[in-house]
Chains A and B, each alone.
Chain A
Amino acid sequence: MNLTLKIWRQKNADAKGGMETYKVENISPDSSFLEMLDILNDQLINEGKEPVAFDHDCREGICGMCSLQINGQPHGPGRGITTCQLHMRKFRDGDTIYIEPFRAKAFPVIKDLVVDRTSFDRIQHAGGYISVNTSGNTQDANAIPIEKHNADKAFDAATCIGCGACVAACKNASAMLFTSAKVSQFALLPQGRVEATERVLNMVKQMDLEGFGNCSNTGACELECPKGISLENIARMNREYLKASVK
């Protein structure tokens, strides 16, 4: 496949960036999107140019590191996948592909396509954990019976990999899907109830401090989420927040 790539280039966080055009040739339809970018970077290095910086790690859809807004969609076309799971056969020979960083005030660009997603870490630190006694006499978690339905829902919420596609897709750059998944994975379990009140209040407060937008219930996040995290979680977070506010 021969492709034209329009890629966002930005030297550093403070530089003014812009779109640049590149051509790549003889790309196998079976290569992954990130492999295609590797080929482009080899080409750039051989030409003595600066390669395009982009995030990636596991390349098997589990770490959430790869990002990229491809043709206006986070992780490109296709549902339930990350960019590392996207293959070039989704595109056609001769296509022009737009590649941009995830855009949100709370995800500032570090370089080219790499954005700083530590705002998610700070939301996690604000309450996305349970306090456990680790002195050696920790109770076996399996000793507490949990209703199957709740265990399943908690597990579904816990599959969130913190990739940020929900924020990137949202017209408001809202982080409600991510935050609600991290609230729900504990809210549904007895171990999580102990600190439930402060958790939801603190995590939502941090989310707002980071400058994420509000939720308009467009549902874009749910559709673009590689793990299929449901809007149900946002409704649950709203209920948790209301409950916590009147306590």
Chain B
Amino acid sequence: MSGIIKSSIARKVSMGLSALFLLIFLLQHLIVNFSSVLSAEMFNEFSHFMGTNPLVQFVLQPILIFGVVFHFVMGFILEIRNNRARDVKYVQYKGSANSSWMSRNMIYSGIVILAFLGLHFYDFWFPEIGYKYIHFLPEDPNRYYGELVEKFHDPIRVILYCLAFVFLALHLLHGFSSSFQSVGFNNKYSPAVHKTGKVYAILIPLGFVFIALFHYFNSL
């Protein structure tokens, strides 16, 4: 870890790798969650598998937690170091003349996502861990859909979720193609990566927004 913190390029590449990993996770997460819109049985089946499969629970889940924690901790480290690299600020700095708002504010879109993750863990992950590994309640393969739908009765929660997804979109509008550049991928395919990135950054958060709204309006 100290080696990664010492070299600017090691920091950059590791940030890019953790981000690419999160991009894959996010796609997977959307697919599983979207099944809840299609059918309760399918969602229960997916969730039961993910929730009880030892590979998912004890290998992939810890990797994911590490990936998320690494990503935001490195995000803060970079932010602090980058601030220090310009100790006297400009009186006039026209960032908009040469870069996008998203690219200059990754830390802020990231902090909103982090706050959302707090809420999201409180909603789903902590109860799940409590259910399985603290209270050792008997597994009911059909409990998941009900637990999900119940959460989206609350309009405040739905609004907070949707707001967070807007910031996720902003984060990814720059982040997707940026992570490729970070790991050294810049070649004739890069224009295609850029376009895919824009589509991904809009469609994935939109998918999550749709799921949240779907369950809210379904519960009315």
Contacts and interface: CB of A to CB of B under 8 A. Distances in A.
Contacts of B12: 214-215, 238
A213 B85 contact: yes
A73 interface: yes
Interface residues of B, number: 39
Nearest to B78: A214
A104 B9 contact: no
Given A173-B82, A218-B100, A238-B9, A69 B178 contact: no
B38 interface: no
A71 B11 CA distance: 32
A204 B9 contact: yes
A interface bracket (residues with beta carbon within 8 Å of B): 35 or more
B90 A72 contact: yes
B216 to A, nearest CB: 36
Contacts of A104: 85-86
A204 B97 contact: no
Given A213-B86, A214-B78, A98 B97 contact: no
Is the contact region of chain A dominated by helix, strand, or loop, or is it mixed? mixed
Contacts of A100: 90-92
Given A72-B97, A103-B90, A208 B13 contact: no
8 nearest A-B pairs in the assembled complex, by CB-CB distance: A72-B94, A213-B85, A235-B186, A172-B82, A218-B99, A238-B184, A72-B92, A239-B184
Interface of A: 6, 8, 19, 69, 71-73, 77, 98, 100, 103-106, 109, 169, 171-174, 176, 204-205, 207-208, 211-220, 223-224, 231-232, 234-239, 241-242, 245
Interface of B: 6-13, 78, 81-82, 84-95, 97-100, 103-104, 106, 174, 177-178, 181-186
